[in-house]
Chain A
Amino acid sequence: MINAVGREIPQEILDATGKKVYEGAYAYDNYEYTKAAPTVHAVCDPKRSKLVENIHEALVKCGIRDGMTLSFHHHFREGDYVVNMVMEEIHNMGIKDITICASSLGKAHDPIVPYIEDGTIVGIQSSGVRGKIGEAISTGKLRDLAIMRSHGGRVRAIESGEVHIDIAFIGAPTCDEYGNMRAVGGKSDCGVLSYAMVDAEYADKVVAITDCLVPFPNIPASISMVHVDYVCVVDEIGNPAKIATGAAKPTTDVRKLMMAEYCTQFVIHTPYFKEGFSYQTGAGGASIASAISLGKIMEERGIHMGLGLGGITTPLSDLLAKGLIRKIVDTQDFDLGAIESIKNNPNHIEISASEYANPFNKGAYVNKLDFVILASLEVDVNFNCNVVVGSDGVITGAQGGHPDTAAGAKCTIVIAPLLQGRIPAICTNVTTVTTPGETVDVVITDYGIAINPRRQDLIECMKGVNLPFCTIEELRDKAYAMTGEPDPVQFGDRIVGIIEGRDGTIMDVVREIKPYEFK
């Protein structure tokens, strides 16, 4: 069946998943459903301790068994030790058929690939995967379909009961013996625990894993003791050097600076750039450069950002400190400057992933965005974006909040250099659709800027603005003129994963790759 972004979703996949095809960005507005609920065990007896000796004991007490679904968060990014630590113990216990439902997985988790190969892990549901797990899925080593969900989509899937978490493992920078978890302090400071909040509320069993046990009460808590069954203290939950680095030096790459400047000029010429506007930007070089240059203009004109959203970096925190931003609501911190800011600035506030982006709650922050500045591996002439599957067909990225913010924002801007080596970023058909073109308004490249023809209003207000506007087809043609037209990837028949729309429908499928053959 062909979905609303023109992708053929085979009937067998619809049957196997019970899902529907993607019908449009807001097709599920006003959708009625009953929320799921976990099966929990009460702690009435004040003498009962939640502390366990080790991961093994936690697993035993949680009743670990074959076929369970376990959840993890990715606030420790490439410095995470928790996933590997838990999965190694599960492997040692001989448990099989586990599904991992993580907010994201990265190269840090390469060591679990053997557990995919030996059947310990049979399912992966994540925002995305990088490194060897991506290769393992793309080469057909995972038994079940991998499911790639946006941050908002993951909360929706958990709250609606589409996925049920048996045990949630929540790495906590600080925790007390009764399970009050905070993201700040300790050795593995990560600023916020936003992605793990839904896990704590909806999992049957919740295990806090910390390397910094602090006196009770550890409050205000990001995640409250009322959700926590066990507390396990380990030596290290992560590598601080990889959890948060110092603020990236602002890029000096002229190409990125040029795209950043185009982006800033575009933003300030829209009607949304006015006192109190809301804004989200990523952590890439061009995104950060555009936040910095936008900050200068805000300062010159005395315009304040009412709300800064998303994954937070030092430049945005600096604007908050200068009083140019009124509030930052935060679901992830990308550097130490952002972590310092959330500790010290009362206007920098931790929110849950549900508040951030869940399409099935009663209104998420993304819905209030004026601008979001995003990156993309590929954008096609229908403005569909691909942020998960590399141009070689291998899963190599994550949806993150990309589809959520694109759907929410009044003005969604994607910045992408036209070429990455020989790979054109603007193409006829993206390898895999992750973010539908109907939610993407502007594409900024080093070769020109294309406005989505659906946004005649934006086209109209850019008349007379001195920026290199062109059509998306012209951008593609410029790219192809240099690289030649790329051949489609030679996929195998087997479907190894699905790209889930934020509303739970199927946006696209990911097929097994096969070795390249010259024909």
Chain B
Amino acid sequence: MEIKKAAMAGTLESSDAQVTVEPGSGSIDLTIESSVIHQFGRQIRATVLETLDRLEVRDAKVTVVDKGALDCTLKARVECAVYRSNDITENLPWGGVIR
């Protein structure tokens, strides 16, 4: 999927993450800031990259500010930001690339 415009999803509350996507400059440029980076930085990065990959996002600047979100929340926030950047809110591929 193409990142058509900047979009954001999520909050900075505990157990949540705020994900921002912006049009990229040819590849995935991922920045992660996390309150649990020392223990979960690797897993957060893997989850975000896997989710972007499933959504076929190849060119984007992605910023994650994580406040201890579980993987299911990280995925939800990434997906939401990506679909928002495309203004899609209906007929989403539940169980398809969203899984």
The answer to whether A and B touch in the complex, with CB atoms under 8 Å apart, is yes
Tell me whether B68 and A421 are in contact (CB under 8 A): yes
**Interface mask (B18-32 → A, CB under 8 Å = 1, otherwise 0):** 000000000000000
* CB-CB nearest in chain A for B39: A486
**Interface mask (A448-487 → B, CB under 8 Å = 1, otherwise 0):** 0000000000000000000000000000000000111011
Contact residues on A (Cβ < 8 Å of other chain), bracket: 10 to 19
A452–B87 Cα gap in the complex (Å)?
Answer: 55
Tell me whether B14 and A489 are in contact (CB under 8 A): no
A486–B43 Cα gap in the complex (Å)?
Answer: 9
A518 interface residue per 8 A CB criterion: yes
Tell me whether A486 and B37 are in contact (CB under 8 A): no
Determine how close the nearest CB of chain B comes to the CB of A277; give it in whole angstroms: 38
A415–B70 Cα gap in the complex (Å)?
Answer: 23
Partner of A483, one of B37, B42, B45, B70: B70
Determine how close the nearest CB of chain A comes to the CB of B15; give it in whole angstroms: 5
* Residues of chain B with a CB closer than 8 A to A490's CB: 38
Chain A binding surface, main DSSP class:
loop
Partner of B40, one of A393, A483, A513, A519: A483
Assuming A423-B68, A482-B70, is B36 touching A487 (CB within 8 A)?
Answer: no
A186–B58 Cα gap in the complex (Å)?
Answer: 67
Q: Which residues of A from 386 to 426 have beta carbons under 8 Å from B?
A: 391-393, 420-423
A489–B39 Cα gap in the complex (Å)?
Answer: 6
Partner of A422, one of B42, B45, B69: B69
A486–B37 Cα gap in the complex (Å)?
Answer: 10
Q: Which residues of A from 471 to 519 have beta carbons under 8 Å from B?
A: 482-484, 486-490, 513, 516, 518-519
Tell me whether A422 and B38 are in contact (CB under 8 A): no
* Residues of chain B with a CB closer than 8 A to A393's CB: 38
B56 interface residue per 8 A CB criterion: no
Quick one: which of B40, B67, B70 has the most chain A CB within 10 A?
B40
Assuming A421-B14, A423-B68, is B36 touching A484 (CB within 8 A)?
Answer: no
A-B contact pairs, 13 of them (CB 8 A): A391-B36, A391-B38, A420-B68, A421-B14, A421-B67, A483-B40, A483-B70, A484-B71, A487-B43, A488-B39, A518-B41, A518-B42, A519-B42
Q: With A422-B15, A489-B39, A516-B38 given, can you name 6 additional A-B contacts, CB distance below 8 Å?
A: A420-B68, A421-B36, A423-B68, A487-B41, A490-B38, A513-B38
